[in-house]
Amino acid sequence: MSKKESALSKALHYLSWRSRTQFEILTYLKDKGYDKNEIQEALNRLSDYGYANDEKYVNQVSENIKTNPRKGKYSIKSKIQHKGVSDELICRAISNYDDSIDLDKAFLLAKSTFEHSQRLTWKKIIDKIFRQLSSKGFSSEVIQKTIKKIEHDPLIAQLYEARQDIHKEYAFLHAKKVYDQWRKKEKDRHVLRSKIQRSLYQKGYSTDIIYQTTNIVMEDDS
């Protein structure tokens, strides 16, 4: 067997594990000690066989992302941007991607996040959904539409309203913690009240819960 055939054989074995980009194959063969001419001939043969096709590889990745319930279209770029694929192919795959596919996936992910965030306030839930969807490759347009859909979903609104007792409990615990932290340092009760309210506001509690909780904490010490 000639060395050129060996380079091709090595490449075919490498491809038997999964699809590869031309850059990945080139790097693999180079690491195995083959020179430029041997690598190029192997790549040419692979191309003739329908392998080592970056456009085909990108399309395959795109299709896999579409069927992955936890990934958005920009995962295409994050998955292959370091594999030597041209920006043109990546941009084309992203532009051809149907956002309606991601809308369904993003809503299900956002709904799951809501269901597993019973202690969080609405503001914190929305922040968490935004971060989660962004990290999973969903576009800003899809994220905005998903958040709007969550905010106007009557069932979610009903479930959130049912959590108010839980939020009041955790608001009280947080307010008490802030109060205990500052009550010896801050003698002005108006300033102390303001610190508690500001801290609760930053946590995303509603105005009603903020004032009710602050009054309870301050009155307990009066």
For residue range 55-75, what is the model confidence (pLDDT) as tens digits? 999 999 999 999 999 999 999
Strand, helix or coil at 181? helix
pLDDT of res. 3: 46
CATH of the domain at 193: 1.10.10
**Radius of gyration (C-alpha) of the chain in whole angstroms:** 28
Strand, helix or coil at 46? helix
Return the closest-CA partner of residue 25 out of 49, 59, 34: 34
Judgement on whether residues 155 and 189 belong to the same structural domain of the protein: no
Judgement on whether residues 116 and 149 belong to the same structural domain of the protein: yes
The mean pLDDT values, 10 residues at a time, for the chain of 222 residues are 69 91 94 92 91 92 96 95 93 94 96 93 94 97 97 94 90 91 87 92 89 88 61
Number of domains in the chain: 4
pLDDT of res. 1: 42
- If one counts every other C-beta atom within 10 angstroms of the C-beta of residue 38, the result is 21
Residue 117 in tokens: 């965030």
pLDDT of res. 81: 87
- Global pTM reads 0.79
Compute the distance between CA of residue 212 and CA of residue 167 in angstroms, rounded to an integer: 12
Judgement on whether residues 156 and 103 belong to the same structural domain of the protein: yes
Q: How far is CA 188 from CA 183, 200, 222, in A?
A: 9, 19, 13
- Chain position carrying tokens 């990745």: 61
Judgement on whether residues 103 and 154 belong to the same structural domain of the protein: yes
Judgement on whether residues 203 and 169 belong to the same structural domain of the protein: yes
pLDDT of res. 206: 87
pLDDT of res. 187: 84
Render 91-116 in DSSP notation, one character per residue. HHHHHTS-HHHHHHHHHHHHHHHHHT
Q: Which domain holds residue 215?
A: 164-220
